[in-house]
Amino acid sequence: MGVCYSKLLKTTFNSSKYSYDVNWSPEWSPTPKTFPLLRLPFLALLEVFKSLDPIELFILSQCSRKAASSIHFVGSKKWKLSVDVREQSININDIYRVAITESSIKPTWIYDRRMKMLFVKYQKNENNKLELQKVLSQLQSAFRCPVTSFEYNGFWKSDQCWVSVLKCIVQNQVQPLESFVLTRSWKMEDLERALQNVKVSRQIRIRIHASSFLRLDLMMFKSCKCIELSFSWLTISDLDVFMEEWKAGNLPSLRYMLIRNDGFHWYWYDQILGFKRDEMKQLGARRKLVIDENLSVDECTGGVDIQADNGRKATIQMDRVSDSWFKLFVWNN
Amino acid sequence: MSVENAPVVDVDEAAIPVEKKMYYRFESNDKKEFRVSELAIQQSETLNRLVEAMGYTSEDVENKPAIAIENIDGKTLKLVFQWCEHHKGEAIPVDDGSVPKIVEIPEFDAKLMDIDNGLLFKLIWAADYLNIVQLLNVSCKKVANMAQGKTPAQLRRVYLLPSDEEDEAAKRAAQEAQDPRAREVEEEFEERKRQGGNSFF
C-alpha cells in the first residue's frame, strides 16, 4: 500500500495556507540565463523582492505595470521618500538615492551599488522640469509609500518646479509631511498657496530672502513640532497673538519655534504674554532641547519661563543684541 | 541537597545506550527513493509535521512503503535532501525585517545551486512546497542576484517579464476564451466613456 504524501497532507493539516494539488506546476522550459520570476509561488516571489534593495526594486518596477503593481507586496510601511527639488534627487529610507540629471546623449539609468545611488539621466528638453515629478510618481506608484520630507533650497536660482512637485505630493497622499524645508521663492502667491495645502507634522523651516511683506499666519503650522521662519515680517503683535494661542493649549504638538526678522520693531506698549523685551533678554542657565531622537535644536541661554494653561512649561527668549530673533522652547514635563 | 554539594560521579559514556538514529524513506514522483535522517527532516516544517503525525517506528520505516512526494521529481528532491542533511540541526532563521533582507549564501549552498535555472526554479518550488525556510531564502537570494547591474530592458529579458502590451493581449485572449461576449461589453463601455457618458447603464 503506498502512502500518498498529498493525501496525508490533507488529513494532517487543516490549514488553508497550502493548496498543493491545485496550482502546483513548476513546469517550465528554460532557456539559458532566463528565469520566469512571476511564475514563482507567492511566498518565493516575496522572498526575491525582499532580497532586492530599493533601487533594484524600482528598476524592476519599470519593466511593466504588472511588475510595478507587485513591488508593494514587500510592505509599503518599510519605505519612505524624501524629495530635494534643488538637488533633483529623491532619497529612499534616507539611505538610497535617485538622482535625476541631464544628459546630452540618450536617456540612461546607471546604478552605483557602492554609493547606493541611481542616476536617472534624461535628455534635455522643454519638459525637463517634469522629470523629477515623473520619477517621484513612479516611485510612489511602485512602493505605495508616502513622501515624508520635502526640501527646496532655491537660494541661487529661482525655479517654480518645486510648486508642481509639491502639488503632486499633496494630491497623492493624505499623510502629512514630516519635514518641509523651503529657502527662497520669488513668487509669494505660490508659497502662500502651497502652504495653505501642505500639512506638516514634525518640522517646518522656511527661509524667504528679499521677499516683501510675507506675514504668514503661524496658526497654519499648528500641527508642527518645530517651526523655523526667517525673514518673516511678523510683528511683535503677531507673536503675542500666537503665544496667547499656545498658552491656551491650542498648539499641543509645538516644541520649538524660531522666528527671525531683520529686526523686530518694538513700540513702547509691545509685550509678549505680558513680558517686556528686556525680560526676555535675560541671561540664564544653558539648556538644550531634544525634540525626538533625530531632532534637537540649539541651546536656550536664558529668557523668561512661562507656563500654559494646561501646565506645560516653556521658555521664551529674545535676541539680546539686535532683536532679530524670537525663540520658544517647550520643555518635557 | 544543593547542586554545589552533590557528589561528582565519573560517567562511563560507553555504558549509556546510544539512541539509534532514525531515517525516513521518501519517494519522488519518478519513483526514486531517498533515506533522510530525522534531524535533517526538521529543516522542512511540512515533512517534520508529517512524520510526527504518522508516528512511525524504525520498523515501520523499513516495512512500510516509502512516503511518496508526488509533486517533486528525483533530481530536485535529491538536492533538497542534500541541503537538509548538510544543514541538519541548524536553527530555522526568523525574518528580522531588515531592508533589504540580509541573506548570505554559504559555499556549500552556492555549489549545490550551481545548476541550470530550470532546476533552480524547481528547487524553489520544492522549498516553498516543503516549507524549508533557509533553502527558500538562499535560493531566492540567488534569483535576486540575477538583477544586479541590469536595466529594466535587461531585467525583462532575464526574468521573462511580459511587456504591458503582451499582458494586455494575454488578458484579452483569456477573456475571449472564457466569454466571447466580454470583449463586446468592454468595447461598448470604452465607447461610451469616449462619448462622455458618466454611467454605463
Cβ B59 vs Cβ B44: under 8 Å? no
Q: Is A111 on the interface with B (CB under 8 A)?
A: yes
> How many Cβ pairs closer than 8 A exist between chain A and B?
163
What does the block give as the cell for A23?
A: 496550482
Q: State whether B99 and A54 contact (CB < 8 Å).
A: yes
Q: Which of B70, B105, B109, B154 to mutate to test the interface with A (most CBs of A within 10 A)?
A: B70
Query: Which residues in chain B show pLDDT less than 50?
Result: 1-13, 16, 18, 197-201
User: What kind and span of H or E run contains A123?
Assistant: strand A117-123
Q: Are residues A98 and A244 in the same domain?
A: no
Q: Is A109 on the interface with B (CB under 8 A)?
A: yes
Q: Is A110 on the interface with B (CB under 8 A)?
A: no
- Measured in whole angstroms, the distance separating CA A146 from the mean position of its chain's CA atoms is 8
What does the block give as the cell for B194?
A: 469616449
A13 contact residues in B (CB cutoff 8 A): 49
Q: What share of chain B is helix, strand, coil (3-state, %, to 5)?
A: 50, 5, 40
Q: Which of A47, A55, A108, A114 to mutate to test the interface with B (most CBs of B within 10 A)?
A: A47
**Per-residue pLDDT at A17:** 33
**Per-residue pLDDT at A261:** 81
Give the separation between CA B95 and CA B102, rounded to whole angstroms. Answer: 9
Which of A32, A36, A63 lies closest to B155 in CB terms?
A63
Q: Which of A1, A7, A19, A35 to mutate to test the interface with B (most CBs of B within 10 A)?
A: A35
Q: State whether A66 and B162 contact (CB < 8 Å).
A: yes
Q: Is B169 on the interface with A (CB under 8 A)?
A: no
- Cell 498648539 belongs to which residue? A251
Q: State whether B152 and A62 contact (CB < 8 Å).
A: yes
pLDDT digits (tens, 9 = 90+) for B54-98: 988 888 888 899 999 999 999 999 999 999 999 999 999 998 888
Q: Residue A134's domain spans which residues?
A: 37-138
Please, where are the H alpha helices in B58-132?
58-63, 74-86, 107-112, 117-129
Which of A1, A35, A52 lies closest to B160 in CB terms?
A35
Closest-CA residue of A relative to B132 is: A44
Residue A181 in domain: yes
Q: Which residues have a Cβ under 8 Å from the Cβ of A289 and sit 6 or more positions away?
A: A255, A256, A296, A297, A299, A300, A329, A330, A331
Q: Are residues A73 and A183 in the same domain?
A: no
Q: State whether A40 and B121 contact (CB < 8 Å).
A: yes
Residue A158 in domain: no
Query: Which residues in chain A show pLDDT less than 50?
Result: 1-24, 210-211
Q: State whether A63 and B156 contact (CB < 8 Å).
A: yes
Give the separation between CA A272 and CA A316, rounded to whole angstroms. Answer: 9
Closest-CA residue of B relative to A49 is: B144
Q: Are residues A180 and A133 in the same domain?
A: no
B137 contact residues in A (CB cutoff 8 A): 47
Pairing of strands A108-112, A117-123: antiparallel
Domain B18-145: give its CATH code: 3.30.710.10
In A191-293, at which residue ranges do the beta strands (DSSP E only) sit?
A: 200-207, 226-230, 256-260, 283-292
Closest-CA residue of B relative to A113 is: B149
Q: Is B73 on the interface with A (CB under 8 A)?
A: no
Burial of A44 per CB tally in 10 Å (0-12, 13-18, 19+): buried
ipTM, 2 decimals?
0.79
**Per-residue pLDDT at B196:** 61
**Per-residue pLDDT at B13:** 45
Q: How far is B138 from chain A (nearest CA, A)?
A: 9
Measured N-to-C along each axis, helices B74-86 and B117-129 cross at an angle, to the nearest 10 degrees, of 70
A77 contact residues in B (CB cutoff 8 A): none
Q: State whether A66 and B68 contact (CB < 8 Å).
A: no
Q: Which of B47, B160, B166, B167 to mutate to test the interface with A (most CBs of A within 10 A)?
A: B160
Cβ A110 vs Cβ A116: under 8 Å? no
DSSP states of A37-57 as a string? GGGS-HHHHHHHHHHS-HHHH
Q: Is B115 on the interface with A (CB under 8 A)?
A: no
Q: Could you tell me the pTM of the whole model?
A: 0.78
When divided into structural domains, chain A yields a total of 2
B54 contact residues in A (CB cutoff 8 A): 3, 8
The region, left, alpha or beta by phi > 0 then psi within -120 to 50, assigned to residue A275 is beta
Cβ A99 vs Cβ A88: under 8 Å? yes
Long-range CB pairs of A236-244, under 8 A, 24+ apart, other chains included: A236/A264, A236/A265, A236/A266, A236/A267, A236/A270, A236/A271, A236/A272, A237/A270, A239/A264, A239/A272, A239/A326, A240/A270, A240/A271, A240/A272, A240/A273, A242/A218, A243/A272, A243/A273, A243/A316, A243/A328, A244/A273
Q: State whether B161 and A67 contact (CB < 8 Å).
A: yes
SS3 state of residue A172: helix
**Distance separating the N- and C-terminal Cα atoms of chain A:** 75
Give the separation between CA A121 and CA A256, rounded to whole angstroms. Answer: 40
Which of A5, A60, A65 lies closest to B67 in CB terms?
A5
Q: Please give the DSSP secondary-structure letter assigned to residue A184.
A: -
Q: Are residues A227 and A327 in the same domain?
A: yes
Which of B70, B95, B125 lies closest to A26 in CB terms?
B125
Q: Are residues A184 and A287 in the same domain?
A: yes
Residue A291 in domain: yes
**Per-residue pLDDT at A240:** 93
Give the separation between CA B55 and CA B69, rounded to whole angstroms. Answer: 18
**Per-residue pLDDT at B200:** 38
Q: State whether B159 and A35 contact (CB < 8 Å).
A: yes
Q: Are residues A128 and A229 in the same domain?
A: no
Q: Are residues A79 and A185 in the same domain?
A: no
Q: Is B55 on the interface with A (CB under 8 A)?
A: no
Q: How far is B29 from chain A (nearest CA, A)?
A: 10
